[in-house]
Structure 1
Amino acid sequence: MASRTKPRTRIRRIKTASWVKWLLPGLVVKRWLFISVLGITLIVLGLAISVRLTPVFYFTRLVGSLIDLFASRVPRHISGPIAILLGFVLLWLGHKRALGSITQVLMPDNDKELVDVLIDHRKLKRGPKLVTLGGGTGLSNLLRGLKNYSSNITAIVTVADDGGSSGRLRREYGVLPPGDIRNCLAALADEEKLLTELFQYRFTTGEGLSGHSFGNLFITAMNDITGDLDRAIAASSKVLAVRGRVLPATLDHVSLWAELQDGRRIEGESNIPEANGKIARIGCTPDNPIALPQAVADIAEADCIIIGPGSLYTSICPNLLVPGILEAIADSQAPCIYVCNIMSQPGETDGYTVADYVRTLDRVAGGRLFDVVLVQKYKPSDRALQNYAKSGATFTELDRDGLVELNCPILLANVMQEMPDGKVRHDPDRLAGVLMRWYNRQQ
């Protein structure tokens, strides 16, 4: 029994000591607490005046008499500190009970103290303005890590997807594809586990429902209600308590096309990887989609811009095919980094080295957009490599000579997470940590 009671006592002491955190600077609490005490004092004095104990001299004389009576019974060097201590105890008790009641109402199932939530909120609000560009699972993994460093995040995603649930909704309802937007919203959700699982839930049966995710249907319904995808995303962000915001690169209905080295022209984002050819040129219809003004404004105000990770031709390049987005990145003075993919994508980047990725982005953008490329330092395990080899995917090799020729600086780091099933991905926490340390060095 003794071994079970000791930890509880220790936890209780730690929680009791949490009141000290309310004295930390930057919480904007102490000033209002002082104003509250001042207000109480003025109320007491006002009541004294209102009941005709004027001048206030009579009230102060009564208080003085009581103090003298107390001091005559107990020495001043003891009575003074006792009164001060009693005042602080009462103030602390009232403060603790009031905040406890508020916490119970606002966060009934949250183990964190209200002061810890407030500290985290203030820290994240003071975080840098980060803009990310990409799509797919790569970008959502990045966002899961970045949201622990700042709430001033803007994720700009492509709207060129025409496959799966997004493609069906695009063809049947005429909406912009919500898939990548849904993934990013779920990644930026503020610890709302049940809501994010609901958003990502995919129907497996039902006529017309099978294959659709609830999030895609929700955003489509919001788009129909609000009449605008931008407003639909904002409404969805409120439901999910999103840190930051997700923006489509454009509200135009964009369709990708690719010209292969064998002369074929492939129409449609989902058809490009299936063509099994080497891509020579990528473009979209319409030729010059109009950038979302808010996306352009956020890039202009960014403290740091992060390109990728994500499918090179079908997630990252589509954003750069929007002239307003491309020009905003090129004009920005903020440090910019490109996160290169760990593994190649069959049908898109077969056999690509890091230099091939950089060369492609330079060609699409008409110049260099980023200051450095982040490259995975170590290879995955042999088991993972063999697993990927079955689908034709390979590890993205670092060819230093090619990058030297391109005059492209390298940032080497271990940002990989190998899953139990042999798949690899960018580790959200490692990747975000490396990026934020790099950003801080630029300052």
Structure 2
Amino acid sequence: MHKLSSRHKKTTPRVNQWFKWLSPGLFIKRWLLISASGLAIAVLGVAIWVKLTPIYRLLEFVSGLLENITTILPNYISGPLAIGAGLFLVFWGQSRTVGSISEVFKVDQEEVLVDMLLNRRRLNRGPKIVTIGGGTGLSTLLRGLKQYSSNITAIVTVADDGGSSGRLRREIGVLPPGDLRNCLAALADEEKLLTELFQYRFRAGDGLIGHSFGNLFLTAMSEITGDLEQAVAASSQVLAIRGKVLPATLSDVRLWAEFEDGRIIEGESNIPQAGGKIVNLGCIPANPPALPAAIKAIREADYIIIGPGSLYTSIIPNLLVPEISQAIAEANVPRIYVCNIMTQPGETEGYTVADHIRAIDRISNQKLFDAVLVHKKPPSPQSLQKYALENSHPVFVDREDVGNLGRRIVLANVMDEDEETGYVRHNSNRLAKVLLRWYTGKWQPKISIAGKIVKKFER
């Protein structure tokens, strides 16, 4: 009895896989039916061409054979046997065909080909999502969103001038590839391996020390293809990523920030180190032209997500491209801003959620989003103490001020805390899940403040 039950458990998944090929949306059944119809028509054409003589003889032979079989075995036995044999050959041939295709395409043993095709169809039908930002925050978001849609376009800042990207920018004259590299790795199917490869930094070699492999890869592709846009497009095909990664502009922009004390600091990497309160941000050259593909993606988007990321060095630099800000403002689709969990020393010290919104509104001179996603629960006391030593604190949710700015608040638990280091980050999967739930309208009104609805999610 035990052997029978274990055998049933082994065969049931295989039978389920066979029936999955009949699932709607795979576009398999219609093509099989068309192929069978074409074969039947071709056979009929051959029969007509040769004046049907072979068909008559074949029918006579089959008729005689069936008559002889039914004299030996009754029709109630021979009929079911023939049906069973035919179905066995169909399923056996189908399974061998699928196995051969899986072997050619090197499908993972743990992932059946039909499951891979169903998942690919589901992702291809996902909403057209445009994300805007840079740094690790954007790559974290993309890592979660790619589980829901393949129609993702990440618009990334190219204002970075520090580290490996800054060196390549100064020495070779290419646009900084660092943030683009992180986004490409996050959208790739083999994300873990590719991230390790792209983040690998050389520890020896004249001129190589400190450079990441991903930055050198994109720099080489830029030299081969002619510009960074083509380099990223070619890399996307090579890496088989889900979606697109686009630079906000192909201009060689350099950030400057004006501080409350009148100082003007140039350079993205220098701004957080200057200390003080930022009152204005701009770039040289001013009003750089947008990448046309980025504008097209925004205009065709079903959903626009801004952030998360450093406010003044990752998010707002994209909005310094006037065409991008204007396209976002004109978009008649859901638009949401993902606020940071903690304030950032040198950029947003003492900022509340409303302060983040005011900074974006002030520099873009228009309203770019309808709602703001804010993390709900504070980090642990140990983490708060560690951040306090760096003059960083949780971003305070000033609900009434946010409501007066005409934004809805989406409260959600979307944080991960590293137990060893105490640092906090957005959780990719929870963040993406909340954002997609808000997009599809599956949230419940919790409380009303200043006439604005506050939405609340529980983990």
Q: Following the alignment from structure 2 to structure 1, what is the Cα–Cα distance between the partners of residues 10 and 268?
A: 55
Residue 423 in structure 1 maps to residue 428 in structure 2: no
- CA RMSD, 1 decimal: 2.3
Alpha-carbon shift at residue 400 of structure 1 (Å):
1.2
1:31 positional shift = 1.7
* Contact 1:181–1:248, Cα closer than 8 Å, also in 2: yes
Deviates more, 1:249-258 or 1:28-37: 28-37
Q: How do 1:220-259 and structure 2 match up within 5 A?
A: 220-259=219-258
The residue number in structure 1 matching 2:441 is 441
One-letter amino acid of the counterpart of residue 69, structure 2: F
Q: Distance in 2 between matches of 1:349 and 1:39?
A: 67
8 Å CA contact retained: 1:196, 1:240:
no
In the alignment, residue 124 of structure 2 is paired with which amino acid? K
**Matches of 2:297 and 2:90, distance apart in 1:** 45
Q: How far 1:363 sits from its partner (Å)?
A: 0.7
Contact conserved, 2:134 with 2:156, CA < 8 A, in 1? yes
Q: Which moved more, 1:69-78 or 1:329-338?
A: 69-78
The separation in 2 between residues aligned to 1:38 and 1:72, in whole angstroms, is 33
CA 170–129 in structure 1, closer or farther in 2 if over 3 Å, else same: same
Report the equivalent of 2:374.
375
Matching of residue 196 in structure 1 with residue 195 in structure 2: yes
Query: Could you say what secondary structure the match of 1:56 adopts?
Result: helix
Task: Call closer, same or farther: CA 1:316–1:337 in 2, change over 3 Å.
Answer: same
SS in 1 for 2:441: helix
Please state how far the C-alpha of 1:108 moved relative to its aligned partner. 5.3
User: Which stretch shows the higher mean deviation, 112-121 or 16-25?
Assistant: 16-25
In 2, the alpha carbon distance for the partners of 1:244 and 1:9 equals 41
Shift of 1:207: 1.9
> 1:89 offset after TM fit, Å?
1.2
* Per-residue Cα deviation, 1:365-402 (whole angstroms, up to 9, x for no partner): 11211110000011011111112122221111111122
What does 1:62-73 align with in structure 2 at a 5 Å threshold? Answer: 62-73=61-72
Superposed CA offset, 1:187-211 (max 9, x none): 0001353233212211223221111
Query: How far apart are residue 301 of structure 1 and its match?
Result: 0.3
Give the Cα separation in 2 of the matches to 1:8 and 1:358.
Answer: 61
Matched length: 442
- 1:144-293 aligned at under 5 Å gives the runs 144-293=143-292
Structure 1 residues 28 and 177: CA distance shift in structure 2, 3 A: same
Q: 2: distance between equivalents of 1:79 and 1:44?
A: 27
Q: TM-score, normalised by structure 2?
A: 0.91
Q: How do residues 343-422 of structure 1 correspond to structure 2 at under 5 angstroms? A: 343-420=342-419, 421-422=421-422
The worse-fitting range, judged by mean Cα deviation, of 322-331 and 75-84 is: 75-84
- From the superposition, tell whether residues 233 and 11 of structure 1 become closer, same or farther in structure 2 (CA, over 3 Å): farther
Q: 108-117 or 341-350, which moves further after superposition?
A: 108-117
Q: Deviations over 1:384-442 (max 9, x none)?
A: 11121222211111111221222221010001111232111110000000000100118
Kindly indicate whether the alpha-carbon contact (under 8 Å) linking 1:49 and 1:55 is maintained by their aligned counterparts in 2. Answer: no
Cα offsets for 1:291-332 (capped at 9, x unmatched): 000000000000000000000001110110001101110111
Cα–Cα, structure 1 residues 7 and 170, in superposed 2: closer, same or farther, change >3 Å? farther
Are 2:327 and 1:320 equivalent residues in the alignment?
no
Deviation at 1:8, TM superposition (A): 9.0
Could you list the per-position Cα deviations for residues 21-51 of structure 1 after superposition, in whole angstroms to 9, with x for gaps in the alignment? 1110110111222233334445655666677
SS at match of 1:270: coil
**Unmatched tracts of structure 1, length 5 or more:** none
Kindly indicate whether the alpha-carbon contact (under 8 Å) linking 2:180 and 2:247 is maintained by their aligned counterparts in 1: yes
Rounded Cα–Cα distance in structure 1 between residues aligned with 2:4 and 2:146: 37
Task: Give, as a single letter, the amino acid of the residue that structure 1 aligns with 2:61.
Answer: L
CA distance in structure 1 between the partners assigned to 2:250 and 2:441 by the alignment: 36
Q: Letter of the aligned partner of 1:426 in structure 2?
A: H
**Superimposed CA distance per residue, residues 232-284 of structure 1 (whole angstroms, 9 cap, x where no aligned partner):** 00111122210000000000011110000000001111110000010000011
Identity %: 61
SS of the residue corresponding to residue 211 of structure 2 reads coil
TM-score by length of 1: 0.94
Counterparts of 2:243 and 2:109 in 1: how far apart (Å)?
22
SS at match of 2:176: coil
Aligned-partner residue type, residue 274 of structure 1: Q
The CA distance in 2 between the partners of 1:192 and 1:358, in whole Å, is 32
Q: Give the conservation status (yes or no) of the 8 Å contact 2:370–2:406.
A: no
- DSSP 3-state at the match of 2:372: strand
Distance between the aligned counterparts of 1:105 and 1:236, measured in 2? 23
Distance apart, 1:173 and its partner CA: 0.6
CA contact (8 A) 1:48 1:59 kept: no
Shift of 1:91: 0.7
Query: What CA distance in whole angstroms lies between the structure 1 residues aligned with 2:395 and 2:191?
Result: 35
Three-state SS of the structure 2 residue aligned to 1:337 is strand
Q: Is the 8 A contact 2:133 2:306 kept in 1?
A: yes
What does 1:95-174 align with in structure 2 at a 5 Å threshold? 95-107=94-106, 109-174=108-173
**CA distance in structure 2 between the aligned counterparts of 1:41 and 1:71, rounded to whole angstroms:** 27
Q: Distance in 2 between matches of 1:211 and 1:11?
A: 52
Distance change in 2, residues 1:55/1:13 (3 Å): closer
For 1:11 and 1:64, locate their aligned partners in 2 and report how far apart those are by CA, in whole Å.
41
SS of equivalent to 1:120: helix
In the alignment, structure 1 residue 94 sits paired with structure 2 residue 84: no
